[in-house]
Structures are given as C-alpha cells and as structure tokens.
Amino acid sequence: MKRLWLMLAVLGLSALTSTAWVIVTHRDVTAPALAQHVAATPSAVGTPPPAPPASPPPVASPQPAPTDPPVLLRIPRIGVNAVVERVGVTAAGAMNVPKRWDDVGWFSPGPLPGAPGDAVIDGHLDSTTGPAVFIHLAEVRLGDDVVVVFASGASRTFQVDRSTRVAAGSTAWSEGVFSNGPPGLILITCSGSWDRQQGQYEQRLVLDATLVPNPATPAAA
C-alpha cells in the first residue's frame, strides 16, 4: 500500500508539473519571456539517448531431486568426511543409529537429501573409547555448509539455518518432518550431561539446514 501511494504521488506530481507548464507557456507569450524559457530549456541535440532497459536479475535454477542413496557426509567447519549408513527404526520405534562410531546414519524410510521434505542423518557424539563422528557438531555455526555426496558422484549442499537442543525422548524437533515441503536436512547427535540411570545423554542437538540452489543464471530477456 505504501509503494502504491508513493507511485500515485509521483504520478500526481508529474501531472501537476505538466499542467503548470501549459499555463506558463500560454500566459507568457512575450518575446523576452519566450526567449528566456528557450534558453533555460536543454537542447534536444545535446540530450543523451535513453538508457537501455535493465537486464532481468539472475534466477537460481532448481536442482533435480536425487535418485540414488547418499554415501558421504561432509561438514567442512568441523572436518567431518563420514561414510553414510542406511538406518531404520528400532524395536522401540526410535530412529536407529549407525553401527560404526565414525559413520553417520541416514534414515532411509524418509526422503533422500535434496528431495522434497526433510532428510534426517544422525551420528554418535562419542564412543566407549573416545570421540565419535559428531563430537564437534555443536561447533557448527549458522550459515555453514553441509555437503551430501551420492553414489553417482553428484552432491547437494545445504546451509545450516537453525540449531536447537531438546530433551532426550522429545519428539518436538520432528514436527513437520518428512512432509512434502522444501528440501531440508536435519542432523542429530547427543548433547548435555550423561544420565547414568537412563544410560544415555540428557539432550539431543538438532541442526536444521536448507538446500542451496544451483548458482544463479541470467534470466531470459
């Protein structure tokens, strides 16, 4: 509405100026006044040609949805270059975890990374002998890249846009996951203090990332 008002104001100002111009030229018809007006008017000969129309802004082209499974996960910020395992659901109905401490697990019943909806990848924080693949996941910052490489050699880059911590067992993070919305990626690992009675960490660290489109290409004129 503000833009519309501004456009109308500009158009009204132009119309008012044109009207005033007609009044002046019809009233001041004496030779001195006409000569003064002509002297103050720019010469048509010296008027520069109009500028060419601006080119349309570049348009980011959508990426086709992948059709082959992910095989590698790379997070440059923390030096992760991990093999991706397929994981499913445990007997208790929870998302399973990768068998190897240094691997990550892609929830294969869900979307492929880069397909519509949210793909989910988890990984261990530590192991019985030391750090595991996602030991430094909390150091990832908003805007950092996460790269998924597929069996075909193709890759998709995601950009982290949210970091949250939820209580272990909470399903709040999964609301809307696996929908047919824009392609997204969710990374999960353990966080917080170790609960000896429960035999697990008290929290989960959840990172949300959004698919980065192909580089922008010039739009058709």
pLDDT tens, position by position, 65-99: 888 999 999 999 999 999 999 999 989 888 899 99
Domain that holds residue 156: 70-216
Instruction: Extract long-range pairs of 167-171: CB within 8 Å, 24+ residues apart.
Output: 167/202, 167/203, 167/204, 168/192, 168/195, 168/198, 168/200, 168/201, 168/202, 168/203, 168/204, 170/204
Alpha carbon distance 111, 8 (integer Å):
49
CA distance 123 to 133: 6
Q: Do the domain assignments include residue 3? A: no
Pick the range with the lowest mean pLDDT from 35-39, 64-68, 166-170, 185-189.
35-39
Q: What is the pLDDT of residue 122?
A: 96
Which residues are registered as beta bridge partners of 184?
118, 210
Does residue 34 form part of some domain? no
User: Looking at residue 43, what is its pLDDT?
Assistant: 46
What is the identity of the amino acid at 203?
Q
Is 185 within a domain? Answer: yes
Domain count, the chain: 1
The pair of structure tokens assigned to 59 is 């348009």
The answer as to whether 77 is a domain residue is: yes
Candidates 66, 78, 65; CA nearest to 205 is 78
CA distance 177 to 196: 30
Strand segments, DSSP code E, in 19-87 are: 59-60, 70-75, 80-87
Per the domain annotation, does 121 fall within a domain? Answer: yes
27 occurs within a structural domain: no
CB 218 within 8 A of CB 169: no
CATH number of the domain to which 210 belongs = 2.40.260.10
Whether residue 30 lies inside any domain: the answer is: no
Domain contains 9: no
